[in-house]
Amino acid sequence: DGGITQSPKYLFRKEGQNVTLSCEQNLNHDAMYWYRQDPGQGLRLIYYSQIVNDFQKGDIAEGYSVSREKKESFPLTVTSAQKNPTAFYLCASKTQGTGSQPQHFGDGTRLSIL
Amino acid sequence: GQQVMQIPQYQHVQEGEDFTTYCNSSTTLSNIQWYKQRPGGHPVFLIQLVKSGEVKKQKRLTFQFGEAKKNSSLHITATQTTDVGTYFCALPNDYKLSFGAGTTVTVRA
């Protein structure tokens, strides 16, 4: 079945540590997105990529970094500069074009501070 | 980018009752999408509205796009426990989506 796979499901970070969240899709989608969701709140865009080897900052990019070396993969690194990383992280993808195509989401990664 | 206000933030509904959630924008929208996120789950696309005054139905869910294309609503008839979750509207914005804060629905049996 085609879909988006995020791993791990749960992740714990120590102080001063960088951690990387994985997102892989086999939907042949060009565009991929990372969102952060805090309890009881909506989705805030961290980074997005419309094509391989290109990505743009979203609304809350500080303390995060991404890469897009392959069409299928869009990993997110939460750096030690992100002082409040505890949240639910969602990866999404869609076909290329303007925003009107629906986005497909992975199951998410819950990140907590140790 | 475009901003959208979604109300109410929380909706507590007696099973069998109807309710409506609203999304309001200060600017004219080209289209609007609706998503549902079950507790502990991820958002799932429900529908997209494009035309002024458009009304679309999915079983007990009725989606409407305002005549001025500045607001949208989701009406659920005869609420069931399966309707529990958070409903988001989302505005396409270039190659991105801007999500509303969501309406979280709980159901009393």
Predicted confidence (pLDDT) per residue in A15-67, tens digit: 889 999 999 999 999 999 999 999 878 899 999 999 999 999 999 999 999 99
Question: Looking at the complex, does the CB of residue A43 fall below 8 Å from at least one CB of chain B?
Answer: yes
Question: Looking at the complex, does the CB of residue A64 fall below 8 Å from at least one CB of chain B?
Answer: no
Contact A16, A5 (CB under 8 A): no
- Identify the pLDDT of residue B33: 96
Structure tokens belonging to residue A53: 């080897």
- Identify the pLDDT of residue A70: 97
Count Cβ neighbours within 10 Å for each residue of A79-114 and write b for 16 or more, e otherwise.
eeebeebebbbbbbbbeeeebebbbbbbebbebeee
State the best of A35, A57, A103 to mutate against chain B, taking most chain B CBs within 10 Å: A103
Per-residue 3-state assignment (H helix, E strand, C coil) for A11-33 = EEECCCCCEEEEEEECCCCCEEE
Chain A residues near residue B88 by CB distance under 8 angstroms? 42-43
As a whole number of angstroms, the distance between CA A55 and CA A52 comes to: 8
Predicted confidence (pLDDT) per residue in B49-94, tens digit: 999 999 999 999 999 999 999 999 999 999 999 999 999 999 988 7
